Amino acid sequence: MHAQNPPTESADNGDQVPILVYHRVHPDDDAPPVVASEYCGHVLLSSFIRQMSYLRDQGFSVITHQGLYDWLRDEASLPPKPVLIDFDDNRGAVYDYAVPVLAEYGWPATCFVITALADGKLPGLEHDGSPWYTPMDWQQLGQLREAGWTIGAHTRTHPSLRELDEAGCQNSVEAELRGCREDIKRKLGFTPFCFAYPEGQWNEAVEAVVAQLFATARHWYEGYPFRYVTKRTNPLRLPAHSISEQLSFAGFVAFVKQAVGGDEMSG
């Protein structure tokens, strides 16, 4: 499903900010099967509620990408135990199940938008209308923004930008990035400042185009070692961890706890 680059940032003894990346949240009685050897793009609603409850009970502070960027530029400080919550791909399951949970806690999150999906013009990613993959539309995305969410860019059609570049399709890379930014401005009335790479894939040539259009760019990883944003992190190379049903609750706890100086998960 995705290929990852070597890590660009690892944990150190300074402030460490974990970014949680979700793709879909499904009710427990209506979810795709989880296959150990395959990519998993969802968490169950019960898992999501348990994770958010843990963050609340342990005193974590949910911040925005703007707040993170301001901290990296020494223009703002961080609250205690900062954490970011991201959702990639603007799926309707996030709107239906994750949004109410976060609204109850009063927490902001970020939705990185595939704009052709929001237009209803990307059947390849809609998976024949399965309720698991139904997209959010522009009206719903506008409602999220009004509720305090950040809306970020995630390309027009969700290709691997690195693969496009390596295939010599540099014009397509630029069209995906500029087109996505223009779509969001036209539909929602503002220019997004943050970007997330589809499938976490990137290279320096793609990054050079991203840098012309966005203030920050986010990758994502699975497994170990855990990676966090620190003061040394390049804003165009923000590391994040994919949260899915393949990550145990103990693994989730280890990821966020280690960020604030807790012990690593053993075993």
Query: Among 81-95, 156-170, 210-224, 249-263, which stretch is predicted with the lowest mean pLDDT?
Result: 249-263
pLDDT digits (tens, 9 = 90+) for 23-69: 999 999 887 777 777 777 789 999 999 999 999 999 999 999 999 99
Interior CA angle at 86 toward 188 and 119, to 5°? Answer: 35
Question: Cβ(219)–Cβ(238) under 8 Å?
Answer: yes
pLDDT digits (tens, 9 = 90+) for 230-242: 999 999 999 999 9
DSSP-assigned letters across all residues of 130-189: -TTTPBP-HHHHHHHHHTT-EEEE--SS---HHHHHHTT-HHHHHHHHHHHHHHHHHHHS
pLDDT digits (tens, 9 = 90+) for 91-139: 999 999 999 999 999 999 999 999 999 998 765 665 655 666 788 999 9
Chain Cα centroid distance, residue 176: 18
Query: Among 118-122, 193-197, 211-215, 259-263, which stretch is predicted with the lowest mean pLDDT?
Result: 259-263
Band of residue 3 on the pLDDT scale cut at 50, 70, 90:
very low
pLDDT at 226 exceeding the cut of 90 = yes
Cα distance between residue 15 and residue 184, in whole Å: 33
Domains of the chain by range and CATH?
A: 19-26+40-259 (3.20.20.370)
Percent of the chain at pLDDT > 70 equals 87
- The amino acid occupying position 223 is G
Query: Among 112-121, 143-152, 176-185, 187-196, which stretch is predicted with the lowest mean pLDDT?
Result: 112-121
pLDDT digits (tens, 9 = 90+) for 58-90: 999 999 999 999 999 999 999 999 999 999 999
Q: What is the pLDDT of residue 9?
A: 39
Left if phi > 0, otherwise alpha if psi is -120 to 50, otherwise beta: which for 235?
Answer: alpha
